[in-house]
């Protein structure tokens, strides 16, 4: 196995269990690792620090183990997936009759950097963000079969959009496992008792945004008697909760035609009257421009990540400010705005500042009623605070 020797003093972050080794911290590479290989990481004095996946780029190793256990054998994957499942059990998600979809593995948050697995009532959809995880996908699939047994209906690999494309991998999405008789590319799942159709082959990411589960429930609890505008609605997650909880009417807006079609199917699935909702394929900013003031007294603003890397931070903050100013200026007096950012590089203080500037721009009186986060199954490793990415504010606009 290749040995990565760090420069003097550069072992500190690993001793604090931070799971990344930056290329600048490396003194010597003993061997010729290919991207995705498991390598050993050692301090300058030769003491063992960790095993991890080697990769090309500023992060050179993503740690799989600090303890020296065998990370190459099948037992490693079974043990790690069992541990991840235990966390979801502890959070009340793994055998909940009202919620049968959750994130099973959340990368660094579960000690498996570069791996995402979402569970949709027996269907596991995985996305590898690193070559190491991509190469391990057969072993990961075997481990899922071992851990879940008969409960597992299928394992679908959807890494074509997430694995490093420069690595020259054979990136074709597809099933790694299908139980006898399983044939669909979509199925109905339950989230807090709300019904959703999830299609992992056609949908964005793994098919559904599981990270908004608790925030959707909060929207539901505030929806009674309100007229709701759900901007960047994707397949209508927030809309379904609002309508199931007494919203007078919900308009759902997304620029993706496929997403808007799914909103329509989710409305039908939940049996809502046609005159209580409309599904609109449009640019959210353009749509907001033409929204009459006072029409909506609850708005959800949940855009895609405006900053995917640090270089895009300033532009992203300006974009959050513009978007939120438009929403705050249009919401009816006494209205609520649920506003979110899922950009990892925009921290909660920076996001709050952008929303503060937006509010100031409108001149309206605005109170923060709640600060919103990602849920427990999008676990944050305490040694890897970068894993916290979803933040939101619930605003009351007088
Ligand atoms: N709120 C959603 C998730 C939103 S993800 C949920 O609960 O499931 C972000 C969505 O924004 C995606 O569906 C994407 O298609 C949409 N989108 C991206 N740019 C947009 C734009 N300019 N106007 C409207 N929608 C946009």
Mean pLDDT throughout 323-337? Answer: 98
Q: Which residues contact 98 (CB under 8 A, 6 or more apart)?
A: 190, 191, 192, 193
Give the model's confidence band at 245: pLDDT under 50 very low, under 70 low, under 90 confident, else very high: very high
Q: Which atom of ligand 1 is nearest to the CA of 259?
A: 13
pLDDT value at position 166? 86
Residue-wise pLDDT tens digits, 348-368:
999 999 999 999 999 999 999
Strands 391-397 and 366-372 turn out to be antiparallel
pLDDT value at position 232? 98
Check if CATH label 3.30.750.80 holds for domain 74-185.
yes
Q: Is the pLDDT of residue 380 over 90?
A: yes
Residue-wise pLDDT tens digits, 106-122:
999 999 999 999 999 99
The answer to whether residues 230 and 257 touch, using CB atoms and an 8 Å cutoff, is no
Range list for CATH 2.30.130.10 in the chain: 3-65
> What percentage of the chain has pLDDT greater than the value 70?
100
Reading the block at residue 348, the tokens are 């909660």
Number of H helices, E strands in the chain: 10, 20
Beta strands in the chain (DSSP E): 3-6, 20-22, 26-30, 38-42, 48-54, 59-65, 101-106, 115-120, 123-128, 154-157, 174-178, 186-191, 194-199, 227-231, 249-254, 277-281, 298-301, 335-341, 366-372, 391-397
**Rounded alpha-carbon distances, angstroms, from residue 252 to 88, 181, 300, 330:** 31, 35, 10, 16
Residue-wise pLDDT tens digits, 196-240:
999 999 999 999 999 999 999 999 999 999 999 999 999 999 999
Mean pLDDT of the chain: 97
Higher-scoring residue by pLDDT: 48, 309 = 48
Which residues does the annotation mark as catalytic? 342
How far is it, in rounded angstroms, from Cα 154 to Cα 200?
11
Residue-wise pLDDT tens digits, 282-310:
999 999 999 999 999 999 999 999 988 88
Range list for CATH 3.40.50.150 in the chain: 209-397
Q: Cβ < 6 Å from ligand 1: which residues?
A: 204, 209, 212, 232-235, 237-238, 253-256, 259, 283-284, 302-304
* Fold (CATH) for 3-65: 2.30.130
pLDDT value at position 165? 85
pLDDT value at position 349? 97
Q: Is the pLDDT of residue 167 over 90?
A: no
pLDDT value at position 69? 86
Our mutation pick for probing the ligand 1 site, out of 255, 263, 280, 299, counting the most ligand atoms within 8 A of Cβ, is: 255
How far is it, in rounded angstroms, from Cα 379 to Cα 376?
5
Q: Is the pLDDT of residue 75 over 90?
A: yes
Our mutation pick for probing the ligand 1 site, out of 232, 252, 289, counting the most ligand atoms within 8 A of Cβ, is: 232
The answer to whether residues 196 and 188 touch, using CB atoms and an 8 Å cutoff, is yes
pLDDT value at position 334? 98
Range list for CATH 3.30.750.80 in the chain: 74-185
Q: Is the pLDDT of residue 170 over 90?
A: no
Taking the centre of ligand 1 as the mean of its atom positions, its distance from the CA of residue 301, in whole angstroms, is 9
**Sign, CA torsion 314/315/320/322:** positive
Residue-wise pLDDT tens digits, 180-203:
999 999 999 999 999 999 999 999
pTM: 0.97
The answer to whether residues 44 and 60 touch, using CB atoms and an 8 Å cutoff, is no
Q: Is 149 left (phi over 0), alpha (psi -120 to 50) or beta?
A: left
Check if CATH label 3.10.20.30 holds for domain 209-397.
no
């Amino acid at each position: 196995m290749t040995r990565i020797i760090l420069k003097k003093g550069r072992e500190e972050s690993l001793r604090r269990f931070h799971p990344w080794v930056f290329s600048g911290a490396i003194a010597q590479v003993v061997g010729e690792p290919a991207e995705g290989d498991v390598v050993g990481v050692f301090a300058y004095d030769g003491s063992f620090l960790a095993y991890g996946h080697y990769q090309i780029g500023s992060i050179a190793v993503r740690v799989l183990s600090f303890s020296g256990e065998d990370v190459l054998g099948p037992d490693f994957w079974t043990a790690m997936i069992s541990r991840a499942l235990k966390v979801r059990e502890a959070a009340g998600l793994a055998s909940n009759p009202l919620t049968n979809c959750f994130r099973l593995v959340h990368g660094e948050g579960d000690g498996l950097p570069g791996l995402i697995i979402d569970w949709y009532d027996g269907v596991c959809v995985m996305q590898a963000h690193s070559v190491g995880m991509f190469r391990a996908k057969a072993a990961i699939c075997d481990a899922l079969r071992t851990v879940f047994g008969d409960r597992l209906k299928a394992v679908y690999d959807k890494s074509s959009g997430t694995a490093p494309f420069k690595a020259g991998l054979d990136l074709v999405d597809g099933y790694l496992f299908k139980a006898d008789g399983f044939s669909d590319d979509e199925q109905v799942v339950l989230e807090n008792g709300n019904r959703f159709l999830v299609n992992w082959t056609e949908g964005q990411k793994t098919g559904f945004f599981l990270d908004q589960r608790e925030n959707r429930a909060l929207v539901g609890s505030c929806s009674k008697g309100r007229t709701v505008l759900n901007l960047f609605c994707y397949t209508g997650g927030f809309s379904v909760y609002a309508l199931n909880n007494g919203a007078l009417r919900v308009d759902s807006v997304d620029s993706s035609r496929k997403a808007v079609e799914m909103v329509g199917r989710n409305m039908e699935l939940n049996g809502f009257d046609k005159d209580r909702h409309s599904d609109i394929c449009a640019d959210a900013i353009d749509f907001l421009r033409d929204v009459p003031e006072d029409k909506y007294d609850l708005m959800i603003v949940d855009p895609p990540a405006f900053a995917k890397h640090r270089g895009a931070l300033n532009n992203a903050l300006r974009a959050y400010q513009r978007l939120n100013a438009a929403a705050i200026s249009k919401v009816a007096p006494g209205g609520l705005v649920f506003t979110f950012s899922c950009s990892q590089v925009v921290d909660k203080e920076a996001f709050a500042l952008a929303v503060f500037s937006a509010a100031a721009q409108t001149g309206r009186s605005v109170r923060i009623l709640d600060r919103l986060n990602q849920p427990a199954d999008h676990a944050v490793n305490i040694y890897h605070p970068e894993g916290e990415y979803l933040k939101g504010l619930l605003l009351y606009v007088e």
